[in-house]
Amino acid sequence: MTALGPNPDLLRIGNCSGFYGDRISAMREMLEGGELDVLTGDYLAELTMLILGRDKMKDADLGYAKTFVRQVEDCLGLALDKGVQIVANAGGLNPAGLATRLREIADKLGLDAKIAHVEGDDIAARAAELQLGTPLTANAYLGGWGIVECLNAGANVVVTGRVTDASVIVGPAAAHFGWSRTDYNQLAGAVVAGHVIECSTQATGGNYSFFKEIADLTRPGFPIAEIRRDGSSVITKHENTGGAVTVDTVEAQLMYEIQTARYAGPDVTTRLDTITLSSDGEDRVLISGVVGEAPPPQLKVSLNSLGGFRNEMEFILTGLDIEAKAELAQKQLESWLTVRPAEIDWTLARLDRPDADTEEQASALLRCVVRDTDPNKVGRTFSSVAVELALASYPGCSFTSLPGNGSPYGIFTAGYVDADKVPHIAALPDGRRVDVAQATDTRPLDAVDEPDLPEPLGTTTTRRVPLGTIALARSGDKGGNANIGVWVRTDEQWRWLVNTLTVEELQRLLPETAPLTVTRHVLPNLRAVNFVIEGLLGKGVAYQARFDPQAKGLAEWLRSRHIDIPEELLA
């Protein structure tokens, strides 16, 4: 295979997008900021597929990330001049349509750009046949080998549909180094590098627990992975950009949206419990020692369906007797409704404090969310009735919004299908179409036994302080489940954390998780424990079961909870 970059033993991959809506100027910033071989972008998430599905329902020519089109129109000439290849999953539900649009842009700009795309992930038309129901969208997570075919055919730009987030990094690395399908350790190393940089500035200080340690977080730079032939990598960023790359900022992203110690993908299963992180200089972190295994025999499938319609009204409760006021409002509204929605959920957020200096600090919020398959049951027949309480309910009754109609909401579920039932097609720049074989060397995704734990600390004097005094954490969503990864910096802190922060202790600290199934996974190399909380997010982000539907703040809530920590660990 032909090497893509000037150095056969190193590939510099930068990322310029972590989601559909990320910094629009990032592609130009990355191309102008320093040397790169490949520039990637991740535009897809569970909610994004639903958004793109609705776009495509309105216009069959859409279904891709429109912001990516704007970025390429601005930067294609610059990328070609610098010899930087662009690989992105911005094709969403219509990678072929996006490739056609990009060719039109290249022609308009007078540029000789070789455009390729990867497809086959969209299996919505076959969902019922594959026992996946009748969703709006159904996309299997493909791997990086279709990208390899496109790059080896000389593509300057490769766009894909639903590949795994890390595949846009794994594909260029596998092509550059000529890795085989069974070079599992190298592929796993690239997966880890890809997982770190695919969420853009979350690797350079964004959403980082100890953010006050970073000198300049005004405008963090985007991350770069310098991947080596053996699969190890250094995470860094362009010089003179904001943010920071440290062992902890990298670990923060490693903890994001993971589950067990086996991180499954279509090309390789990555053993997260083998990762070693070490400093390689200022704004440089070495990732090494990653072990890979054969992938599982099935591919994960992202399924999005229209669940129905939802609406909400939020009452402001001020001053005394907050709970009694909430009880009255709830009783009145439910008894006044002439048509009852299928679901009525009430949440009382006690943001008030006694003897408050401002009216806002003396107020709580009572939120009522309704859902139904019939939009009329959650429209003004609900919200207007809520407003009718204004002069007939608790003292000081008011609302945060005017009455309105309901809006559609989606439901995400994960499905699984045998890999050999999903096509994987590389549409090359010259028009040829190559069928890419799915993995045949596979291994069932078994659980990892919990490792031997270090001896707990002996009896010592403790102080009751927030867990976040010494612990960092990161949380995220996977469908209706949430994860919280928690880690510490020293071996002594680790001895305390792993023996103290059990499932039972987490459920005590976060009472909302108490009735749910919670599992803990131990990652000693990273001094980390990861908790998976099943069902906390209902039926996925679009269902909006919580005011924090993607569990972004869940880790910070945990860090704010008070716990007895040994004095010696607080020094």
Residue 367: count of CB within 10 angstroms of its CB? 15
| Helix 167-177 and helix 184-197, axial crossing angle in degrees, nearest 10 | 140
Q: How far apart are CA 286 and CA 213, in angstroms?
A: 20
Confidence of residue 3 (pLDDT cuts 50, 70, 90): very low
Q: Confirm if 310 and 544 have CB atoms less than 8 A apart.
A: yes
Does the pLDDT of residue 186 top 80, yes or no? yes
The pLDDT score that the predictor gives to residue 544 is: 84
Joined together, the tokens standing for residue 521 give 């996974």
* pLDDT score of 5: 47
Only one residue has tokens 């982000």, namely 541
Which tens digits make up the pLDDT trace of 242-290? 999 999 999 999 999 999 999 999 999 999 999 999 999 999 999 999 9
Q: Which of 239, 202, 200, 240 is nearest to 222 (CA)?
A: 200
Average pLDDT, the chain: 96
Closest CA to 298 of 265, 256, 324: 265
Residues near 241 by Cβ (< 8 Å), separated by ≥ 6? Answer: 29, 33, 204, 219, 220, 221, 222
pTM over 0.85: yes
Quick: pLDDT tens for 87-101.
Answer: 999 999 999 999 999
Q: Give the pLDDT band (50/70/90) at residue 546.
A: confident
Query: Are 203 and 249 in contact, with CB atoms under 8 Å apart?
Result: yes
pLDDT mean over 406-417: 93
Quickly tell me which residue has 């009329």 as its tokens: 376
pLDDT tens for each residue of 522-542: 999 999 999 999 999 998 888
pLDDT tens figures, 479-533: 899 999 999 999 999 999 999 999 999 999 999 999 999 999 999 999 999 999 9
Where is average pLDDT lowest: 45-54, 184-193, 279-288, 376-385? 45-54
The CA distance from 481 to 198, in Å, is 21
In this prediction, residue 543 carries a pLDDT of: 85
Which pLDDT does position 415 carry in this prediction? 96
Mean pLDDT on 24-46: 96
Helix H or strand E segment including 329: helix 322-336
Pairing of strands 407-418, 481-487: unpaired
All domains of the chain in start order, with CATH:
10-302+414-435 (no CATH), 305-411 (3.30.70.380), 462-569 (no CATH)
